Amino acid sequence: MAYQTLRNEYLNTPPITRAYTTACVITTLAVQLELASPFQLYFNPILILKGQIWRLVTTFLFFGTFGFNFLFTMIFTYRYCRMLEEGSFRNKSSDFFMMFLFGATLLIIIAFFVNILFLGQAFTIMLVYVWSRRNLFVRMNFFGLLNFQAPYLPWVLVAFSVLLGNAIYVDLMGIAVGHIYYFLEDVFPNQRGGFKILKTPNVLKLLLDELPETGDYQRLPEDNPGGFDWGNREIAEDNGRNENQQNVENNQ
């Protein structure tokens, strides 16, 4: 019964959220089973320039070995990634994937100048920040201790990271990138003289977006009340016979 529930929940998860969280769990499991090493996954500009380009992806997939920190981060990643994809990005998976590419690219550029090995935590904070800015009036409760509105959530997570002993600049990177995306996507286009800077390529829309329902559907005769419009047809035929009869009488 529990397996069936988990299976249904997994299959009902939006595609990009499902793909990303699955990749994170598989990567961490591979390290746990010693099928891979963190030394093969971490962000290293020198090795990347030498051809190990997979590190551009794996740096976002490893959240450390299984434990409380991993579980907490994965829950937040899954929750807010899914709420974004089902909320403001509903039926716009291509735009959501574009946000992934934009955020990951900015974080990688920053990582070239900052000594950071794994970017998954910063990426999660970016997702949380974008969600919080698009849900300004949602009330939050943090472990039953704090009540606040959604825009304060990233800063609460920064404080919590300090308690866990994580590097604070990683979270600040995620907040900075999330704010840049939010400004370019939600603020600047609505300013006087503003325009949309981030444009999703049509090829991504063709590959990822669901086909919209068209309004060109013509009701079939059998879909109409009364079948094939028989009642109206009989009335029209009676009216036609009456008109013919009247014309005959007039001619006489």
pLDDT digits (tens, 9 = 90+) for 150-207: 999 999 989 888 887 777 889 999 999 999 999 999 999 988 888 888 888 999 888 8
Mean pLDDT for the chain overall: 82
Cα–Cα separations (whole angstroms), residue 24 to 75, 88, 220: 12, 23, 49
Q: CA gyration radius for the chain?
A: 28
Question: Residue 140 domain-assigned?
Answer: yes
More confident residue, 76 or 134: 134
**What integer pLDDT is reported at residue 5 of this predicted model?**
82
23 band by pLDDT with thresholds 50, 70 and 90: very high
**What integer pLDDT is reported at residue 157 of this predicted model?**
87
Both tokens of residue 100?
């992934």
Question: Residue 233 domain-assigned?
Answer: no
**What integer pLDDT is reported at residue 236 of this predicted model?**
47
Question: Residue 231 domain-assigned?
Answer: no
Give the count of domains, the chain: 1
The answer on pLDDT for 1 being more than 90 is no
The answer on pLDDT for 214 being more than 50 is no
Tens digits of residue pLDDT in 82-100: 999 999 899 889 999 999 9
**What integer pLDDT is reported at residue 111 of this predicted model?**
92
**What integer pLDDT is reported at residue 125 of this predicted model?**
94
Average pLDDT over residues 117-127: 93
226 band by pLDDT with thresholds 50, 70 and 90: very low
Expressed as residue numbers, the domain containing 139 is: 1-208
The answer on pLDDT for 59 being more than 60 is yes
Helices (H), the chain: 2-11, 15-32, 45-49, 55-58, 68-86, 93-111, 120-133, 153-164, 168-182, 202-208, 230-251
The answer on pLDDT for 14 being more than 80 is yes
More confident residue, 145 or 94: 94
Question: Residue 238 domain-assigned?
Answer: no
Three-class secondary structure of residue 64 per DSSP: coil
CATH number for 123: 1.20.1540.10
**Overall pTM surpassing 0.85 (yes/no):** no
Q: Which residues of 96-133 are buried (b: 16+ CB within 10 A; e: fewer)?
A: bbbbbebbbebbbebbeeeebebbbbbbbbbbbbbbbb
More confident residue, 222 or 241: 241
**What integer pLDDT is reported at residue 235 of this predicted model?**
45
**What integer pLDDT is reported at residue 36 of this predicted model?**
92
Question: Residue 42 domain-assigned?
Answer: yes
The answer on pLDDT for 251 being more than 60 is no
Question: Residue 178 domain-assigned?
Answer: yes
Question: Residue 149 domain-assigned?
Answer: yes
**What integer pLDDT is reported at residue 245 of this predicted model?**
53
Question: Residue 4 domain-assigned?
Answer: yes
